Structures are given as structure tokens and as C-alpha cells.
Amino acid sequence: MTNSQQKTATPNTDIPGGVIQRVTGPLVRANGMSQAKLYEVVKVSDEKLLGEIIELHGDEAAIQVYEETAGIGPGDVVYRTGRTMSVALAPGLLTSIYDGVQRPLQKIEEAAGNCFIKRGIEADAVDMSKKWKFNAVVKVGDIVVEGDVLGEVQETSVIVHKIMVPPGEGGKVASIQTGDFSVTEEIAKLTRADDSVASITMLQYWPIRKARPKARKIFPSEPLRTGGRSIDTFFPIAKGGAGSIPGPFGAGKTVTQQGIAKYCDAEIIVYIGCGERGNEMTEVLTEFPHLIDPNTGEPLMKRTILIANTSNMPVAAREASVYTGITIAEYYRDMGYNVALMADSTSRWAEAMREISGRLEEMPGEEGYPAYLSSRTAEFYERAGVVKALGSDGRVGSLTVIGAVSPPGGDLSEPVSQATLRVTKTFWSLDSDLAYKKHFPSINWLTSYSLYAPNFEEFWAKEVAPDFSEIRKIAMTLLEKESKLLEIVRLVGMESLSNSDRLVLKVAGMIREDFLFQDAFDPEDAYTPLQNQYGLLKSITNFYEAGQVVVTKPDFDFSNFANMKTLAEFQNLKENYTATPEDYQSYQERARLEISALA
Ligand code: ADP
């Protein structure tokens, strides 16, 4: 995008364009729009409601309006802006709470004079007057290309914001200086190859529907550490991966997503509350600003951007909120950060697509969703990835995308779940039966999967333990065996089982209750480092290995296990959140000795 385009992104003059013919909910049809372009931002009526052209036929435009359209009618004017729907990218994004179209909620409230948001309010996404200390890292005469870092700004106490040459720009640095600047003041001049001059500010705009460019994608080989035992050990997601959390109402999607946002080892978090009930978003909005980041000891908001778009806001804004969030996330990825984006819930976005498509009178696909549901979903998740960013320093950043899906009745065969499953490689299947039994997180260990797990073998062997992968597989196999054995028990009773089978049931029970069960509301239990996850799980599989030897001895009495001292001790070990690898090892040795003495 050229600099002149950037400047027009917040125009002062709106050009009268066409006249409204028809209004149906969030969709407005206007004619006299032959000069307009597809996806151009428009202001509807003299109330200047924000809208976007989503279809153009000759001089008739279909406009999706991001605000309530009551009271708007035929004859009202539509103003053109000449720009596409874009986000402002500059220091000041972090700690912000936005609505779906990047208006800071606090500023809208100030402009409205009360907490009831009026229509047509315009508010800058970042503070345009605030002075930031810009530290130049290149000097006059240097040659820079798109993506190169020109300088840095300490955006919050934990994050350094890199000011990058906008995509499509580059040349010789003609002027640059360290100093205090607002985001709209010039910080550098570049002389382009054709001798024209580009004026660079700290503010860039980027169209939300277009993925930001990168040098190339890199194979994801490192897991995102979330502290969730079920996630990290059994169903890990890659830094730069795409994952989905489908689950019926009340199964724990929001709690799981919020847990990841709080504890994962991404440096930047973008949390999109898309069409969820207002009270759930209120929880996020009131809770997040008080949370302390366990990795830095600083408030979590210093590395977070919240986008709040609740179910009572106009449906069209749901789509905008998803794209706005992912574009901001890509921008920080381009600086070389690991970014994690959570969208809760993408089903609400799909419903908005369905509503707009219906009003456009498009041919409906399955269950009334538009035929392009799959391609839109894929385009969104494909923006995840580990990338080598533009620029000559070879920065690598990642964007992990985790989307919640709320299938009605938990039925995964419905179109939104299916479209999501096709493009995400980690699948945390939340199970209402488990939630009902208060087994949390209710991630079903039999139906969930992670296609990334094989990529992490090397990482685990190096960073955790050489046998981590093996332990993990043993544990997963035990859980599968357990489900088959429980079928048999249901049919013919426990007596029919051999001691070996009973041991499988016992150990699988430990895996479920002592390892997979994790209370998100207990601050100590909510986060388990990978090393401790390994220590705990190995202590359980160690029990199985040692037990296998003794249970097959003639006349072995299974009830011997019940009185084991080390089994009681295991509960203490589990709650010892500062246990070291040596603590686990010494426990495992004692347990082995005690078990072999049983027979
Ligand atoms: P959903 O978003 O799927 O509708 P929520 O995330 O709001 O469901 O979870 C519903 C309830 O389940 C929560 O209010 C909480 O009581 C409980 N819950 C979910 N996950 C956990 C967890 N990991 N630990 C403890 N309680 C949980």
C-alpha cells in the first residue's frame, strides 16, 4: 500500500455516492454507486452508519452495515470513502478493547456520553496525539526494503513495537531521527528507486480481508505451551498451528480458550469474543484487565488486545471482528512475535454469513449456509502459520489460531464444524457427558486429536525427556484399552477381567483423574509446566510397568494395591507444584520397589 493510500484511510471528506433503495436488516441496497468498488467502506445515511460494499451489479450496490439500521430507509444517501475496510496498525494497540470495527469501547462510551452506544460514532483506533519514544535503528543512507525495522517503540513494559517499512515500500533512508513522535508524525523519509520520496509514519493501514504478506511459511515444529495437561501432552497445538474447540453449550469452550490466553507462552494475545452472550464477554472484559501474566509478572493486558462483539450487536460486525483480529495478530507476527489468537465463537460468525447470504438471496448450501462457508473458513485458518517475515533480518514470527465452534446439540456433522475440521489440525472435542460429570477440561481423549504431535518428537526429546513421546503413547493406548474393557465390564461384569486387564483399568483411571482432570479455577493447578506433566505421567506409567510384572504372578491379590504407601503419596506428589525431576524420579523408584514387593 502506498503512503498516499494510507493517508486516505481516515478521510475527512465522505463523497456522496448513491441513494438507498431498500433496507433489509443489516443489508442495504443502493443505486447510483457505479463509481464505487467492491469492499469499499461506505457511510450510510446522514447518521453515517459504517458499512461495506459486498456486491456490485452495475450501479447497484449491496452494503452490509455494521450498525443497527432501524430508521434508515429508501431515499437516504450513501457516502463513499474510497477506501477498503482496513485496520490501523501502530503503537497503542496493546491493552485496547475494541468493538468489531476497531473502535475502542472506552472512546465510544466517552463519545456517546453514557454506556449505551449510539450509532455512527467515529473513534480513532489508537491515540493519535500521544507521543511515543521512537528509537531509530537504521541511519541515513541505509538501504531498506519492505518489512525492515526502522526503529522501535516500547509499547508496554513487556512488548517492544517494531516500526517496519510498510509492504510495497523501500529505498534509501533520506532522513530518520530518534525522538518523541505521535503516530501520524513523520519519522523517516525514504527515497524510492524512482527518486520519489515516501514519508513514513508509525501508523500503517491494512485491508482486513487480505492476509499480510510474508517472505515464506515455515514448517511448525514447536508446540505452544499452554500449561494444560490434556492439551500439551496429549493433543498439542503448534506455535503457528490452527486448532478448533467444538463443543455444545456449557462444555467449557470459553474457559478453555481463556485458560490458553492466560497461560500460553505466546508473547501477544488477540482474543475475539464473536457473537457470544454479553455476560460471557463481560467476564472477559472485567477479568482480563486484572489478570497477572505468570510469565512476566505484569498485567496480562500489556500483551493483549480484546475484540468484543456480543450477540446483541449487529450480525455483520461479527465478520469484521474476526478479520480485524487476525490482521492485528499478523502485524505483531511480522514483528517476530509468537501471537495466539482465540475466536469465540466462529459459529456465530458463520451464522452472520448465513444471514447476510440469505438477504442477498444467494443460492443456499447445506443447512442454509452459503456455499462459500468452507472457503471463507479455510481462508481464515490459513492465515495461521510460522513465517519468515518480510525484511532482510530473517525475523521469524508465528500466529496460532484457535477457534471455538458451537455446533447445535453438539452435532459435529453440521456444516460449520465440518468446514473447520477440514482445515484445523488440532481438534479438542469437548464432551457434554464429561462436563456433566464435572470432568474438566471436558476434552474427550478418545475423539480429540493433534496432527501436529509427530512434528514435536525432536522438541520433546530435547526439551522435556528422551522418552516423553513414548510415555505419551503408552498413556493414550491405556485410555483406548480402558474404553474397550469398560464395554466388556458393562456386559459381563468386573469378574470376567484378568488381573492384567484390571491393572489397565486402574492405571487408566489414574490418568483420567490425576492427570487429565485439571481445575481451571485453581491458580496452581491451572498451569503445569511440561517437565512436571512428564514427571506426573511417567509416575503413572511407571506404576503400570512395575504392576504388569506382579499381577501375572500366581495367586496375586489385586487388593494389595489399595494399601500401597506410595499410591497415597502420589496424591501429595500431584499437588506438589514445585516438584523437581529428581522428586519424580525418587518417587518412581520407591513405587517400583513397593510394587515388586507385593508379590
Ligand atoms: P461454553 O463456552 O462451552 O458454553 P464454558 O466455558 O462457559 O462453556 O463452561 C461452562 C462451565 O463449566 C464453567 O462456568 C465452569 O463452571 C465449568 N468449567 C469448564 N471448564 C472448566 C475447567 N477447566 N475447570 C473447571 N471448571 C470448568
pLDDT digits (tens, 9 = 90+) for 211-247: 999 999 999 999 999 999 999 999 999 999 999 999 8
pLDDT in tens, 412-447: 899 999 999 999 999 999 999 999 999 999 999 999
Burial (0-12, 13-18, 19+ Cβ within 10 Å), 412: middle
pLDDT in tens, 144-154: 999 999 999 99
Higher pLDDT, 550 or 313: 550
- CA angle, 497 then 498 then 502, to 5°: 75
Tell me, using a 6 A CB cutoff, whether residue 434 lines ligand 1: no
State in Å: Cα 231 to ligand 1 middle: 16
* pLDDT reading at 108 higher than 90: no
CA distance 348 to 18: 31
* pLDDT reading at 377 higher than 90: yes
State in Å: Cα 251 to ligand 1 middle: 6
Reduce the DSSP state of residue 44 to 3 states and report it: strand
The mean-pLDDT minimum among 98-102, 164-168, 370-374 falls in: 98-102
Residue located nearest, by CA, to atom 5 of ligand 1: 252
* pLDDT reading at 250 higher than 90: no
- Assign 3-class secondary structure to 473-538: HHHHHHHHHHHHHHHHHHHHCHHHCCHHHHHHHHHHHHHHHHHHCCCCCCCCCCCCCHHHHHHHHH
Following DSSP, what letter does each residue of 434-448 receive, concatenated? HHHTT-SS-B-TTT-
What pLDDT is attached to residue 401?
A: 97
* pLDDT reading at 190 higher than 90: yes
Higher pLDDT, 195 or 99: 195
pLDDT range class, residue 8, cuts 50, 70, 90: very low
pLDDT in tens, 256-273: 988 999 899 999 999 998
Q: What Rg value do the Cα atoms of the chain yield, rounded?
A: 27
* pLDDT reading at 315 higher than 80: no
Task: Return the DSSP state at 231.
Answer: I
- Residue 98: beta bridge partners? 104, 307
What pLDDT is attached to residue 280?
A: 67
Tell me, using a 6 A CB cutoff, whether residue 247 lines ligand 1: yes
State in Å: Cα 263 to ligand 1 middle: 16
pLDDT averaged over every residue in the chain: 90
- CA angle, 57 then 60 then 64, to 5°: 95
Asked if residues 224 and 266 have their Cβ atoms less than 8 Å apart, the reply is: yes
Pocket test for ligand 1, best of 282, 287, 311, 440 (most atoms within 8 A of CB): 440
State in Å: Cα 254 to ligand 1 middle: 7
Cα dist from 25 to 33, 67, 362, whole Å: 20, 10, 16
* pLDDT reading at 12 higher than 50: no
pLDDT in tens, 45-102: 999 998 999 899 999 999 999 888 889 999 999 999 988 889 999 999 999 999 888 8
Tell me, using a 6 A CB cutoff, whether residue 468 lines ligand 1: no
Reduce the DSSP state of residue 386 to 3 states and report it: strand
Q: Which three cell numbers stand for residue 444?
A: 474427550
* pLDDT reading at 11 higher than 60: no
What pLDDT is attached to residue 554?
A: 83
Q: List alpha helices for 165-277, DSSP H.
A: 229, 253-263
Q: Is 268 left (phi over 0), alpha (psi -120 to 50) or beta?
A: beta
Residue located nearest, by CA, to atom 17 of ligand 1: 252
What pLDDT is attached to residue 13?
A: 60
Asked if residues 518 and 230 have their Cβ atoms less than 8 Å apart, the reply is: yes
Residue located nearest, by CA, to atom 19 of ligand 1: 252
Find the Cα–Cα–Cα–Cα dihedral 389, 304, 519, 446, rounded to 10°. -30
Atom of ligand 1 nearest to the CA of 520: 24
Tell me, using a 6 A CB cutoff, whether residue 441 lines ligand 1: yes
pLDDT range class, residue 15, cuts 50, 70, 90: confident
What pLDDT is attached to residue 463?
A: 96
pLDDT range class, residue 5, cuts 50, 70, 90: very low
Tell me, using a 6 A CB cutoff, whether residue 519 lines ligand 1: yes
Highest mean pLDDT among 101-105, 303-307, 327-331 belongs to: 327-331
* pLDDT reading at 393 higher than 80: yes
State in Å: Cα 99 to ligand 1 middle: 25
Tell me, using a 6 A CB cutoff, whether residue 242 lines ligand 1: no
The percent of residues above 70 in pLDDT, for the chain, comes to 95
CA distance 230 to 193: 54
CA distance 90 to 199: 15
Residue located nearest, by CA, to atom 9 of ligand 1: 252
Tell me, using a 6 A CB cutoff, whether residue 255 lines ligand 1: yes
Please report the beta strands in 145-251, taking only residues with DSSP state E, as ranges in sequence order: 149-154, 160-164, 171-176, 179-181, 186-191, 197-201, 204-207, 216-218, 242-246
pLDDT in tens, 115-126: 666 677 778 889
What pLDDT is attached to residue 9?
A: 39
CA distance 257 to 521: 13
CA distance 309 to 319: 10
State in Å: Cα 587 to ligand 1 middle: 33
Pocket test for ligand 1, best of 231, 254, 255, 517 (most atoms within 8 A of CB): 255
What pLDDT is attached to residue 7?
A: 34
What pLDDT is attached to residue 212?
A: 97
Tell me, using a 6 A CB cutoff, whether residue 438 lines ligand 1: no
Q: How many CB atoms lie within 10 A of CB 376?
A: 17
pLDDT in tens, 446-479: 999 999 999 999 999 999 999 999 999 999 999 9
What pLDDT is attached to residue 122?
A: 78
State in Å: Cα 431 to ligand 1 middle: 11
* pLDDT reading at 572 higher than 80: yes
What pLDDT is attached to residue 312?
A: 64
| Mean pLDDT on 311-330 | 86
CA distance 434 to 490: 18
